[in-house]
Structure 1
Amino acid sequence: MSVNVPLPGEAHRGSAVRAMFDRIAPRYDLLNRVMTLKVDQAWRRRLLSDLAPKDGERMLDLCAGTMDVADLARRRAPGLRVTGADFSMQMLRRGVEKTALPASQADAMALPFLDARFDLATVTFGMRNLERYEVGLAELARVLRPGGRLGVLEFFRSESRGSRLVHGAYNRLALPVLGRILSPDPEAYRYLVASMERFASRVEFEDAARRAGFREVRGETLFPGVCGLVTAVRA
């Protein structure tokens, strides 16, 4: 599969990936709902259930996109102080319009926040878009207080043959059709597929989280070959 946007492991990805998300921002929510049959919202609720945000805590929704997680978190805990951050201004603009929550355009590898600023942080399908996800994990460890909680939803690279078959069949049969129908930028769905296949496995990502300063790192596959959840506590 030919993809023009640089993939995980390739250099100088940031500007190209950001421009792609700026282009697809107007239909991003629709793409998510249709391509996952709305299961993506159940995954987000599961993420928040594991992290259990509380009134009065400070939460960073990193790689926030249109701020679906931030919105769900605030509904779950109305006194939660949520900040969204993303490198795509067009995505954030739609998120702020939707949620009325504060947001900051930010590079996940050089966050504009003080050390130990947040009690918990979430990243939803964004780590594989970073030029170096290990640096992103280190920045998350920096801005979380000791004992702060991290939750990451991601399309990790599958390591089992069965999961790769499920993933491959969906990629070959469903994604091309949905991408042509729904996306203003067909390159975006090609990038989605290729970036999943080039990103870290869940086990590799968990190991990187431990090296970055997290403990109690736990991972779970939410949908074979597609979605995984990793939670951790800042040491």
Structure 2
Amino acid sequence: MSVPLPGEGPRAGQVRAMFDRVAPSYDLLNRVMSLRIDQAWRSRLLRELAPKQGEAMLDLCAGTMDVAAMARRRVPGLTIVGADFSFGMLSRGVRKTGLPAAQADALALPFQSRSFDLATVTFGMRNLDSWEAGLRELARALRPGARLGILEFFRPETAGTRVVHVAINKVMVPVMGRILSPDPAAYRYLVASMERFASRPEFEEGARRNGFRDVRGETLFPGMCGLVTAVRA
């Protein structure tokens, strides 16, 4: 079944069902297709946010809670809550980490306003019906001065990132998806959704419009992943 792409209208139910289908093989495919570089990206995200003992962290679009697991190892005294709309993904994350989590819509989070000192979103913003509404909801859930870190596959704009995008995302990812995944169409969606999503500069401007300041972004090696950090205004 074809999953609607960003800008094609409401699609949360279909995207959720897709992630439920790929949940059993999701971690393995991430490691194989990225040659474990995805873990280096997550480590960089946490270095930038610098979580501290006693703080409360939201791992939104948590998937199987890789970021939450890494944060707990680094800062045992950090309070971490995961949230994701895919029960299949999140249940694996809870088993892996033992941390609390909530199946939740990122556009209507079940948390009180100003609940968290920092939040992470890894490869989930382009799956929302509206990424700007997602940023506004994050701003609501974060305390003023809280830190936000986002890893995402933004639409490539420069010649260099387009070359990497073609080599990795249009050749390697679909091939590996056909070989290893029970749902190869999910990995075709992954590539197509990048092309229909915002560029990193567009996303950074959206963050400034929707409750954040000190917005910074960069493209991470090898050129297919973007990191955006910001502070809740």
Cα distance in 2 for residues equivalent to 1:169 and 1:182: 19
Cα distance in 1 for residues equivalent to 2:139 and 2:27: 29
Question: 1:176-197, CA deviations, whole angstroms, 9 ceiling, x for partnerless residues?
Answer: 2201111100111100000011
Task: Give 1:225 shift.
Answer: 4.3
Q: Secondary structure at the match of 1:153?
A: strand
Gaps of 5+ in 2: none
Cα distance in 2 for residues equivalent to 1:208 and 1:214: 9
Establish whether residue 31 from structure 1 lines up as the match of residue 29 from structure 2. Answer: yes
Question: 1:68-122, CA deviations, whole angstroms, 9 ceiling, x for partnerless residues?
Answer: 0001011110000000000000101000000000000000011111000000000
RMSD over equivalenced CA pairs, Å: 1.0
Question: 1:135-163, CA deviations, whole angstroms, 9 ceiling, x for partnerless residues?
Answer: 00000000000000000000000111232
Cα distance in 2 for residues equivalent to 1:88 and 1:72: 20
Counterpart amino acid of residue 157 in structure 2: E
Residue in 1 that maps onto 2:174 = 176
Return 166-175 or 74-83, whichever deviates more.
166-175
Cα distance in 2 for residues equivalent to 1:21 and 1:176: 16
Task: Give 1:224 shift.
Answer: 5.0
Residue in 2 that maps onto 1:217 = 215
Q: Secondary structure at the match of 1:174?
A: helix
Cα distance in 1 for residues equivalent to 2:143 and 2:40: 28
* Alpha carbons 1:157, 1:225 under 8 Å: kept: no
Gaps of 5+ in 1: none
Alignment: residue pair count: 233
Task: Give 1:169 shift.
Answer: 2.3
Question: 1:35-78, CA deviations, whole angstroms, 9 ceiling, x for partnerless residues?
Answer: 11100000000000000001110000000000000010111100
Cα distance in 1 for residues equivalent to 2:122 and 2:170: 24
Counterpart amino acid of residue 48 in structure 1: L
Cα distance in 2 for residues equivalent to 1:81 and 1:231: 20
Residue in 2 that maps onto 1:147 = 145
* Alpha carbons 2:170, 2:191 under 8 Å: kept: no
Q: Secondary structure at the match of 1:8?
A: coil
TM-score by length of 2: 0.98
Among residues 17, 39, 47, which one is paired with 1:49 in the alignment? 47
Establish whether residue 85 from structure 1 lines up as the match of residue 83 from structure 2. Answer: yes
TM-score by length of 1: 0.97
**What is the percentage of aligned positions where both structures have the same residue?**
74
Where do 1:130-145 residues align within 5 Å? 130-145=128-143
